[in-house]
Amino acid sequence: MAQRVYTADVRVVIDTDLTDLSAFIAAATAQVDIIAAVGVLSSALLKEIERYLAAHYTAIRDRQLSKVVMLDTEHSYDGKTGTGLNATLWGQQALAMDTTGTLAAGVRRRASVSYVGAVASNGTLSTD
């Protein structure tokens, strides 16, 4: 599906010196397309989720300062709150806006392996 937001839209919610946000927007678009397939959220809300996801990916690349002390040169960065989408305030906001739970499910998703077959009497695996 076509992207819902552009660089200027993302810059409304995040201050960054990066000039090309297209990769971050593309990643956000791909995720929001999955949410859109559920079909219950308005296009306006999908656009906002995409905006905040793009800002989240931007913040991962361009860490955001939350505190600066000039004389002693102390810096603190946002994003020490968790991992994945919980690592930035923008990711947390995208999670909160996604009332379908699709983003949250992706955060909690665990890999699993299943075997559909039988074990032969000699201990070997069989698909019969």
Instruction: Return the minimum-mean-pLDDT range out of 1-10, 73-82, 95-104.
Output: 73-82
Query: Chain-wide mean pLDDT for the chain?
Result: 82
Cα–Cα distances (Å) from 20 to 7, 23, 58, 114, in that order, read 8, 8, 10, 42
Q: Provide the whole-model pTM.
A: 0.72
Point out which residues pair with 68 in neighbouring strands.
75
Point out which residues pair with 126 in neighbouring strands.
118
Share of the chain above pLDDT 90, in %: 55
pLDDT at 79: 45
Number of other residues whose CB lies within 10 A of the CB of residue 45: 16
Please indicate whether residue 87 or residue 103 has the higher confidence score (pLDDT).
Answer: 103
Angle between helices 89-97 and 43-61 (to 10 degrees): 160
Domain segments of the chain: what residues? 7-126
DSSP state at residue 87: G
Residue from 63, 20, 40, 78 nearest 49 by CA: 40
pLDDT band at 117 (very low <50, low <70, confident <90, very high): low
pLDDT digits (tens, 9 = 90+) for 7-50: 999 999 999 999 999 999 999 999 999 999 988 999 999 999 99
pLDDT band at 102 (very low <50, low <70, confident <90, very high): very high
